Amino acid sequence: MNLDFNKLDGLIPAVIQDHATGRVLMVGFMNRAAFDKTLETGYATFFSRSRNKLWLKGETSGHRLVVKHISTDCDQDALLIQVEALGPGVCHNGYQSCFYRSLNHGKWEETEDPTYDPTKVY
């Protein structure tokens, strides 16, 4: 039973969820090489669509994602990865989660404070 990497040009979305709190921290994309690297190292590794190469999350910031649990869905074309997130935040904009904006009466609003200063990390 294999993952289906054929639907999005070789990529599948990987939902990253905090294993302790259940908070969804980010969505990344993995190709087969990124998934294999994730299994091999125990750290979430994605395929960066903007840089067009493998991307070890936390390579620069140190905010790595330690894999605790991996699930796949019925169609085997998505991953749910529960992690321990090292450091104060996953988002390169300085927030705990990339999902720091919510829809409120038709407008996106920031609903939380940053947890670190990204200019000191990146």
Query: By CB under 8 A, is residue 24 in contact with its own copies?
Result: yes
Q: Give least dist CB 71 to its own copies, A.
A: 4
Compute the radius of gyration of the chain from its Cα atoms.
Answer: 15
Nearest alpha carbon to residue 70 among 89, 91, 42: 42
Instruction: DSSP for 60-118, please give it.
Output: TT---EEEEEEEE-TTS--EEEEEEE-SS-SSTTS-SSS--EEEETTEEEE-S--SS-G
71, 84, 117, 122: residue in contact with its own copies (rule CB under 8 A): 71
Query: By CB under 8 A, is residue 66 in contact with its own copies?
Result: no
Query: By CB under 8 A, is residue 101 in contact with its own copies?
Result: yes
Give the footprint of its own copies on this chain (CB under 8 A).
1, 7-8, 13, 15, 17, 21-24, 26-27, 39, 49, 69-76, 78, 80, 91-93, 95, 98-103, 106-108, 111
